[in-house]
Structure 1
Amino acid sequence: MKYHAHVFFELDQTAQVQELHLRLQEVLSGSVTVSRLLYKAVGPLPKPMFQMEFSQDEFAQVKYVLTQIFHGFSILIHPLLENEYLAHTQYATWIGTPLNLNLECL
């Protein structure tokens, strides 16, 4: 099973999130993909963010690293499922403050 982690930020946190983005690329090398920064809300995701994709084998490591260095950002971790609503709600895990997602997009 594959997972996504979404690290949300405010536009005035650009310097901090760029630093975190680079650090995660260094620390989580291998089959963890750290995508580019998106400076606007997309789909059900309510804020600018970047995404990470990883397998179940890496879940514990990714969650541990994010918990240790999240710097107060809200982070959503969810499995990739056919039912995206359930993936983003019932099966979702939050690190930091949970955000209200735009679930009508799902």
Structure 2
Amino acid sequence: MKENSIITNFHAHVYYNTETRDIAARIREGLEARFEVQLGHWHDQPIGPHPTSMYQVAFSPNQFPQVVPWLMLNREGLDILIHPETGDDVTDHTAHALWLGTKLNLNIGLLKRINAS
């Protein structure tokens, strides 16, 4: 059994499209106003393993009990991937992933290629 201490951080990926970008902006503003999180860049096109537009939110393990419930109640129908950072990108984005909304098909092959290099 693995220990929680190997989790260095968490990422939430908030997915949106052109019709839901304003909703994503509201969620982003709410996160920034309420929590000490690191907000990543807006990616209006698929990037890395992510199949649609998104931005990333990084937060520490001790913030999980506050940030994740807030996202659960305030995601306004958007799909959100939450995963730990353990140093194993493939497993973090798959076996260790938590989805709010619909589970999207990530390009895990890309992560495997990046990890192999």
Alignment TM-score, normalising by the size of structure 1: 0.91
CA shift at 1:63, angstroms?
0.6
1:74-93 equivalences in 2 (<5 Å): 74-93=79-98
Structure 1 or 2, whichever has the larger Rg, is 2
Amino acid at match of 1:34: L
1:98 is aligned to 103
Post-superposition shift, 1:82? 2.0
Q: Are 2:78 and 1:59 equivalent residues in the alignment? A: no
In the aligned structure 2, how far is the partner of 1:70 from the partner of 1:16? Answer: 8
> Structure 2 CA distance, aligned partners of 1:17 and 1:2?
22
1:20 to 27, 51, 66: 27
Alignment of 1:22-61 (within 5 A): 22-28=29-35, 30=36, 32-61=37-66
Partner of residue 15, structure 2? 8
Letter in 1 for 2:61: Q
Moved over 4 A (4+): none
Number of residue equivalences = 104
Instruction: Give unpaired runs (5+ residues) of structure 1.
Output: none
> In 2, Cα distance between the equivalents of 1:27 and 1:37?
19
**Which sections of structure 2, spanning at least 5 residues, go unmatched?**
1-7, 112-117
Identity of aligned residues (%): 33
The alignment's C-alpha RMSD in Å is: 1.1
